[in-house]
A = this chain, B = another copy of it.
Amino acid sequence: MGYKFATIQDVAKVAGVSTATVSRTLSKPSVVAAGTREAVRRAVEETGYQVNTTAANLRLQRTGTVIVLLPNIANPFFSQILAGLSLELSDAKYGLLVTDTQTGPDPDARLAEYLRFRRADGILLFDGTLSSQALDIPGRPPLVMVCEWMERDVPTVRVNNEHGAEMAVDHLVSLGHRSIGHVTGPEGNVLSASRLAGYRTAMERRGLPVDERWVIDGDYSMDSGAAAGRRWLTMEKRPTALFLASDEMALGFLGVVQAAGVSVPRDVSIVGFDNIEISQHLTPALTTIRQPRTEIGIRAARKLLGLIHTGSLTGPSEVIEVEFIERRSAAPPPS
């Protein structure tokens, strides 16, 4: 505190020019004479001048920051996406304001509140539980939904969940499985729904019946995966393979059935979704569907920057492809 930063005035004085010239030299060097430019450059050096972003932003009627609304900051799934975002946004000189919708009031109120006292130039929304009308705020900045989506013309960056699910099931089928179960994500979630849809589509396409008892409710968490494992153990007619809608659930499942003396993949095959970091280190290493998280972050950031630039609130959506990763948790069914 108490330290006085050099201002553009100081630079102007030292360089013997006006503040306008200093400002121009810094933002559009081409329009000032080479000699002046050089004098300003020296003065900047001498004074140690650093632009005051707050003042510039006030003048330019912008904030220089982008808000990221996450359902839960603590979820590691988001951290890598965040890395991608950060990369792209800091290149564009935007700050990343991270907050989560879990603490405090509901997402709608949260978004409104956040917009209230901290205007941002753009919003990246990872929370699918936000209601459609929460977006009808006059003067709201452009927004991109990431991973989630809603019934509304909101620009979205997401992953091809259906295709991922189909690849998972196809793999199991090609190994010879005919009774294939599915552990779902939380109900009412578009991601869960599309993974489930992909599962059904693939089964149908291969002419395989789906026994509804094989479709087990989950919520992406390890605990729900463990519960699914206990459920599977008590079934009288167990499916020989399962596609689980998240790696975390696969982990929970694996722990429970292995503890019960079941061998994976000898006795049961499993395929997860996400390719979280631990998956490759499990025993057996988990066969899964990779979501390119850093790329999701980068693409989302670019899309938002584009909207900010053009000042538009709507735009096309992007679907990013997923990748099937074969490891050791799926094998032919026991004969």
Question: Which chain B residue lies CB-closest to A1?
Answer: B311
At the interface, yes or no: A314 with Cβ under 8 Å from chain B?
Answer: no
**Which residues of the partner chain B approach A281 to less than 8 Å between Cβ atoms?**
222, 226, 251-252, 255
Number of interface residues of A (CB under 8 A): 60
**Which residues of the partner chain B approach A277 to less than 8 Å between Cβ atoms?**
76, 222
At the interface, yes or no: A283 with Cβ under 8 Å from chain B?
Answer: yes
* Tally of this chain's copies: 2
Given contacts A74-B82, A118-B53, A139-B5, contact A258 B278 (CB under 8 A): no
Contact, CB under 8 Å: A99 / B96:
yes
Contact, CB under 8 Å: B83 / A79:
no
Given contacts A73-B82, A278-B251, A281-B251, contact A52 B96 (CB under 8 A): no
**Which residues of the partner chain B approach A252 to less than 8 Å between Cβ atoms?**
281
Contact, CB under 8 Å: A98 / B96:
yes
Proximity bits, A116-145, B CB within 8 Å = 1, else 0: 111100000000000000000011000000
A16 to B138 CA separation, bound complex (whole angstroms): 25
**Which residues of the partner chain B approach A76 to less than 8 Å between Cβ atoms?**
76, 79, 277
Q: Can you name 20 extra interface pairs (CB under 8 A) apart from A54-B119, A65-B65, A222-B277?
A: A50-B117, A51-B117, A52-B119, A53-B63, A54-B63, A58-B58, A65-B97, A72-B83, A73-B80, A73-B82, A82-B98, A86-B100, A95-B118, A96-B98, A96-B99, A97-B97, A98-B98, A255-B282, A255-B283, A259-B283
Binding site for B on A (CB under 8 A): 1-5, 48, 50-55, 57-58, 63-65, 72-76, 78-80, 82-83, 86-87, 90, 93, 95-100, 103, 115-119, 138-139, 222, 226, 251-252, 254-255, 258-259, 277-278, 281-283, 294, 311
**Can you list 8 A-B contacts with CB-CB less than 8 angstroms, sorted by A residue number?**
A3-B139, A53-B118, A53-B119, A64-B118, A72-B83, A74-B83, A76-B79, A255-B283
